Structure formats: C-alpha cells, structure tokens
Amino acid sequence: MTHTTDIPTQTRPALLSVRDLRLSFPDMANKPLLGPAPRTEVLKGLSFDIPAGQITGIVGESGSGKSTAGRVLVRLLEPDSGTVLFDGEPIGHLTEDALRPLRRDLQMIFQDPMSSLNPRHKVGRLIAQPLKRYGRGGTREQAEDALRRVGLPADFADRYPHQLSGGQRQRVGIARAIALEPRFILADEIVSGLDVSSQAQVLALLKDLAADMGLTMAFISHDLSVIRHLCDNVIVLNRGEIVEQGPVEQVFDTPQSDITKTLLSAIPLPELDDDWFED
C-alpha cells in the first residue's frame, strides 16, 4: 500500500516544496548551569508540497509544529537541515540580504490582528505602508481598493484598528497581504479568535479571494471542520511528523492514521454544511 505520508505526487506544480525538513529549538527549561541548552527537535524530517493556486491546510494538535513549519515556508525561520524550494529555487538557507527580493512574495496573516497592526495608525496607512516599503506605490486609492476587495467600505481607511470588530480587523489583515499581490500567503490560525459567524464570513471571503485571484495559501488550523470547507489539500502533523497528507476529500473520507481519525472525531456535530459559509 502506498502510505499517504510518502512524498506527495501532486498533479499541480508545487510553488513551495519541502524535503526532509528538520528544525530544533534550544530547550531552555533543561539548560545546565554551564554549557549550552540541549535542543529539542520540533520538525522531524517533513516532506510536502504546496501546490500553486490551491489552499493547503496544515492541521494538528497544539505543539505539533504547525506554526514552526509555516514560519519556515515564509522563511521567518531557517531550518537546521532539509530543502525548501520556492518556485524551484532553494531558499531554506538564504541570508536575510538574499531573501529581501522574496519578502513581498511570501506574506503572512497573523492570528491576532491587534498585535500585528499598529494601533496608532489608521487602516489606510496600515495597508499602504507595506506597499510603499516594497516599492509598489502605497496610495490611498490602493488602500481603498484593497478594502473593497475584502468587503469593507472604503472609508474604513480612516478608522483605527480599535474601531473595528475582530472580523473586520482580520479582513484588514487580509487586505494588507493581498494588496501586495504575493505569490504565497501563510494564514496562521486567523479565524480562531473570532466568533462562529465572523469565522464563517472570513472563511467565505478567503474562499472567494482564492478563486478570483488564484491564491496559493497554507492555512494553519487546529480545526478540521474549517480545513474541510476551505482547503484543497491537507497535511496532518503530530509531534513534528507528518502522519497523513493528501487531497481533503481523500483524507476526510478515508483517513489512514489514528491521529487523523481522532482529530476527525473531535469535529462537533452537527457537521457544518455549506450554508455555514453564506455571508
């Protein structure tokens, strides 16, 4: 039997491709008085592809290594070893200088928009700033256009983040990322802090944007019901290892690993249907 943890054979070309990725952190809790801290391996040889133009879910229990793996994809972290190919080019061990031209292409949307958005800046400026930084303009019109694309009124450009609801702030986070027209977006638990109805709206928006713009995205979530409705593919992590990966329908309909089965059994009933995603 071909096990689903094997290196994937995607029909679509991979925008990002990871092979035998390993990463460890110093374990400060067990650091001896003298000498360096021992290291704990957090990613234990991951191999997976992020196909172009699709949404790939990364799921697993808390501490399984989802965020760490995501941060390697956008090269906020450098792996200890292994290969990370972006559009066929190795980026895993590039220096910060060499990464600079790639930074606009590898964007991230954070879980907590309040901590990632400067509370003293108005929304228009928050969206325009990265555009300026990357030499892509940064006009009020661009900010307003980005707001409209995420379903917010253009005059929200004059609001401060604290004058928005959680769901609206998360839309601003999305607007900020897509305005840059990146080639890859990492979304790390971006709906976990929202109530169910705001979650549904943000996910519906992402689904529309992905279809309209052909986004390539990795979507980290501990919630399999969210992954099922949003993603094309899923990677299931457990303790720094991939226990299963493949197209969403395949993994959900015929889960191979006990870990996936346990995660699936934790999906609350009644199962969400597509109406859940209506605006």
Note the residues at the interface with ligand ATP (CB under 6 A): 25, 42, 60, 62-68, 222
- Residue 160 φ/ψ, nearest 5 degrees: -95, 155
By C-beta, is 77 or 154 nearer to ligand ATP?
Answer: 77
By C-beta, is 2 or 62 nearer to ligand ATP?
Answer: 62
By C-beta, is 10 or 245 nearer to ligand ATP?
Answer: 245
Instruction: Quote the least distance from Cβ 63 to ligand ATP, whole Å.
Output: 4
Reading the block at residue 245, the tokens are 């990966």
Instruction: Quote the least distance from Cβ 64 to ligand ATP, whole Å.
Output: 4
Instruction: Quote the least distance from Cβ 233 to ligand ATP, whole Å.
Output: 18
Instruction: Quote the least distance from Cβ 30 to ligand ATP, whole Å.
Output: 12
**Relative orientation angle of helices 140-149 and 123-133, to the nearest 10 degrees:** 110
Instruction: Quote the least distance from Cβ 255 to ligand ATP, whole Å.
Output: 19
By C-beta, is 65 or 138 nearer to ligand ATP?
Answer: 65
By C-beta, is 43 or 147 nearer to ligand ATP?
Answer: 43
By C-beta, is 66 or 228 nearer to ligand ATP?
Answer: 66
Compute and round to an integer the Cα radius of gyration of the chain: 19
Instruction: Quote the least distance from Cβ 262 to ligand ATP, whole Å.
Output: 15
- Give the position of tokens 């309209």: 212
